């Protein structure tokens, strides 16, 4: 499966297929206290997962919540040398890792299942192309791209 993820404003993303059909959307809602909450919605607008930043700085960390309980954690383990984001939860470990921020491989429990490439649009915003083997695809995977964007913020351009 191939998905195209583009930035649509502050903290908002559109997730489309190569034909331009909307598959998912990601929106950000500010809380009164604390960090903003980012939510992944399916094409009909149903909220699937919630993303919360738990740490900032050099190695940002996130929690992915499903039905009000922790489903997965994400941690940027390396920003510059072999950039890597590690996702753990539900007995599974995913890694998005590469030699450069703009070309990363997606692995699930050590098995390569896809990749993420980044190109800069004419306005300077990144455009992500995510390819995942169909038998490994899960609704949570588009949030991985949002986390990569938040971790490397501008390094992908």
**What is this structure's pTM?**
0.89
pLDDT tens, position by position, 80-133: 888 999 999 989 999 999 988 889 999 999 999 999 999 988 888 889 999 999
Who contacts 31 (Cβ-Cβ below 8 Å, separation ≥6)?
37
Q: What is the domain extent for residue 24?
A: 2-152
User: Does position 153 have pLDDT exceeding 90, yes or no?
Assistant: no
User: Is 145 within the bounds of a domain?
Assistant: yes
Residue 34: the pLDDT is 63
Greater pLDDT, 90 or 32: 90
User: Is 103 within the bounds of a domain?
Assistant: yes
Among 107, 87, 100, smallest CA distance to 126 is for 100
CATH code, domain carrying 147? 2.40.160.200
pLDDT tens, position by position, 141-150: 999 999 999 8
User: Is 94 within the bounds of a domain?
Assistant: yes
Domains in the chain: how many in total? 1
User: Is 16 within the bounds of a domain?
Assistant: yes
User: Is 157 within the bounds of a domain?
Assistant: no
User: Does position 157 have pLDDT exceeding 50, yes or no?
Assistant: no
């Amino acid at each position: 499966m191939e998905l195209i993820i583009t930035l649509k404003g502050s903290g908002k993303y559109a997730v489309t297929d190569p034909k331009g059909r909307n598959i998912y959307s990601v929106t950000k809602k500010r809380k009164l206290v604390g960090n903003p909450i980012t939510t992944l919605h399916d094409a009909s607008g149903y909220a699937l997962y919630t993303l919360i930043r738990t740490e900032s700085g050099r190695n940002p960390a996130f929690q992915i919540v499903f039905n009000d309980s922790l489903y997965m954690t994400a941690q940027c383990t390396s920003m510059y040398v072999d950039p890597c984001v590690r996702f753990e939860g539900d007995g599974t470990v995913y890694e998005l890792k590469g030699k450069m921020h703009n070309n990363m491989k997606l692995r699930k429990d050590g098995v390569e299942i896809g990749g993420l490439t980044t190109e800069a649009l004419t306005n300077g915003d990144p455009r992500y192309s995510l390819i995942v083997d169909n038998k490994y695809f899960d609704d949570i995977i588009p949030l991985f791209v949002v986390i990569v964007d938040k971790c490397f913020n501008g390094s992908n351009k």
